[in-house]
Amino acid sequence: MGTALVPEAEDGPDAPSSTAGPSPSPRTPSAFRKDIQGLRALAVTLVILAHADVPHCAAGIVGVDVFFVISGYVITGVLVREVGSIKTKLLSFYSRRVRRILPAATLTLLATLVATYHYLGAITGRSLGTDERWASFFAANWHFTLSAENYFSSQQPPSIVLHFWSLAIEEQFYLVFPLFLFVVWRVAPARHRNMIVLVALGLLVVSSSWWCIHETQVDPISAYYSPFTRFWELGLGAFVRLLPLEIRLPHSGAAAAVGWLGLGGICLSCVFLSTTNYPGVAVFWPVGATALVLWAGTTSGGRGPELLLSTRPVVYVGDISYSLYLCHYPFLVIPLQYSVSASLSPLARLELIAAAVGVASLSYFLVENPIRRSKWLGAHRPAVFLMGLCLIGSVWLLTGLLRAFVSV
């Protein structure tokens, strides 16, 4: 599934990345949208329901697609405020990505590897070590494609870091999309800049979505993990964020109705969608519904889904959603593979989810926030990139040490 699966680098309540404004214009308002945090809470909840094998929630994996659209929307809000200087702003952007994503992800990989060796033995641990090396630099999706790891119907126990595929998709998008946006913005005539960016982005969205449909029929595993079949989901979120004010719903009542329609579509897709031939055409349902919620939320006047999504408990789950996404899957999969039975009891699964929430909260307050809000790291970009290399290297080092010194 997937971390946006992953929240954006600036997505905390004290940061402006969830900007509600629709276009890269100086008159665009900057306001933190709690309902976006609520959407993240919904997305991670749907994914957990699917991974916990809750009846009638197998399609909860659509939560990953919800994350993708949110991430495209939020990242564009960050970038449209930074189009003035390619070099300095891009370096700043990538530095924030390292601080936001790598520490918690690396901690999860290291802890998961140790737990796997302890509970499941060296054979499983060595196999996981290979998966983790790919996951450490966000190439897990390519690895699982090459190893033909079917997300839904593999006959072998799934990789304990299988969920890192979606983080890889997002980071690959974050690598190329800022370059695309900055280049188009710089070369386009100022008078028609917004329209040219929207048209170029729209063409990419259409092309990627068509390839998603085609590839699902030809090579379903590649279609599931490929960035080329998934980028359109993040691109649609970016497209919605760039829509000019004139295309917004003018009446708050209509916007609220559209927002509730979108939220209902997300929830219903969890129950009624089939994971057969997914993503394909089926993914249009949760992706489109999420786009509606994001689009309508800027003019619904507090009468739309934000009434539910902006409540304090829901926003809190959205705040910790990245760490919760990272750790929930190992918490569910390691005990399942350790257990002699074919499944875990509902009570056991509930206890494991509660434990994952507790660990995610600790990670959010002790790892995520201190590092991403560090003023010292913010002022020393070279140190941030060096830290990133060290974090990736730590995964490679630990996998090598355990492989060398723990016997089968």
pLDDT band of residue 5 (cuts 50, 70, 90) is very low
Q: What mean pLDDT comes out for the span 259-286? A: 93
Note the pLDDT of residue 123. 94
Inform me whether the pLDDT recorded for 32 exceeds 70: yes
Tokens matching residue 31: 């306001």
Q: What mean pLDDT comes out for the span 316-338? A: 96
Per the domain annotation, does 362 fall within a domain? yes
Helices H, strands E: what count in the chain?
Answer: 18, 0
Note the pLDDT of residue 192. 84
Note the pLDDT of residue 154. 56
Note the pLDDT of residue 304. 87
Inform me whether the pLDDT recorded for 383 exceeds 80: yes
Per the domain annotation, does 291 fall within a domain? yes
The residue range of the domain holding 367 is: 34-185+234-273+285-405
What is the average pLDDT value for the chain, to the nearest integer?
Answer: 87
Q: How far apart are CA 286 and CA 265, in angstroms?
A: 7
Cα Rg of the chain (Å, integer): 20
Residues 35, 297: contact at Cβ < 8 Å? yes
Sequence-distant (6+) residues with CB within 8 A of 63 are 1, 5, 42, 43, 44, 45, 46, 47, 50, 270
Dihedral of the alpha carbons of 44, 277, 296, 203, in degrees to the nearest 10: 120
Note the pLDDT of residue 19. 31
Residues 170, 3: contact at Cβ < 8 Å? yes
Per the domain annotation, does 208 fall within a domain? no
Instruction: Look at 275 and 290; give whichever has higher pLDDT.
Output: 290
- Letter string b/e over residues 164-198, b meaning 16 or more CB atoms within 10 A of that residue's CB: bbbbbbbbbbbeebbebbbebbeebeeeebbeebb
Residue 319 CB neighbours (<10 A): 23
- Any idea which of 12-16, 81-85, 94-98, 187-191 has the lowest mean pLDDT? 12-16
Inform me whether the pLDDT recorded for 190 exceeds 90: no
User: Cis peptide leading into 279, omega within 30 of 0?
Assistant: yes
Per the domain annotation, does 12 fall within a domain? no
Q: How far apart are CA 255 and CA 67, in angstroms?
A: 22
Per the domain annotation, does 16 fall within a domain? no
Note the pLDDT of residue 30. 47
Dihedral of the alpha carbons of 299, 304, 308, 309, in degrees to the nearest 10: -40
pTM for this entry? 0.90
Residues 337, 157: contact at Cβ < 8 Å? yes
Per the domain annotation, does 102 fall within a domain? yes
Inform me whether the pLDDT recorded for 340 exceeds 80: no
DSSP string, 218-235: H-HHHHHH-HHHHHHHHH
Q: What mean pLDDT comes out for the span 327-349? A: 89
DSSP string, 277-304: T-STTTTHHHHHHHHHHHHHTTTSTT-S
Question: If DSSP codes are grouped into helix, strand and coil, which group holds residue 310?
Answer: coil
Note the pLDDT of residue 84. 54
CA 282-310-177 angle, 5° bins: 50
Per the domain annotation, does 69 fall within a domain? yes
Tokens matching residue 312: 């304090």
- 10 Å CB burial of residue 322 (0-12, 13-18, 19+) is buried
Note the pLDDT of residue 155. 57
Q: What mean pLDDT comes out for the span 198-225? A: 95
**Closest to 228 measured CA to CA, from 240, 238, 216, 237:** 216
Per the domain annotation, does 15 fall within a domain? no
CA distances from 200 to 72, 230, 296, 314, 332 (A): 15, 17, 23, 36, 42
pLDDT tens-digit series, residues 70-122: 999 999 988 887 765 555 578 888 999 999 999 999 999 999 999 999 999 99
Q: What mean pLDDT comes out for the span 311-332? A: 96
Note the pLDDT of residue 213. 96
DSSP string, 38-107: HHHHHHHHHHHHHHTT-TT-GGGGHHHHHHHHHHHHHHHHHHTT-TT-HHHHHHHHHHHHHHHHHHHHHH
pLDDT > 70 in the chain, percent: 88
Q: How far apart are CA 108 and CA 103, in angstroms?
A: 9
Sequence-distant (6+) residues with CB within 8 A of 320 are 357, 360, 361, 363, 364
Query: What's phi and psi for 196, nearest 5 deg?
Result: -65, -40
Residue 31 CB neighbours (<10 A): 12
Note the pLDDT of residue 169. 97
Q: How far apart are CA 287 and CA 333, in angstroms?
A: 27
The tally of domains found in the chain comes to 1
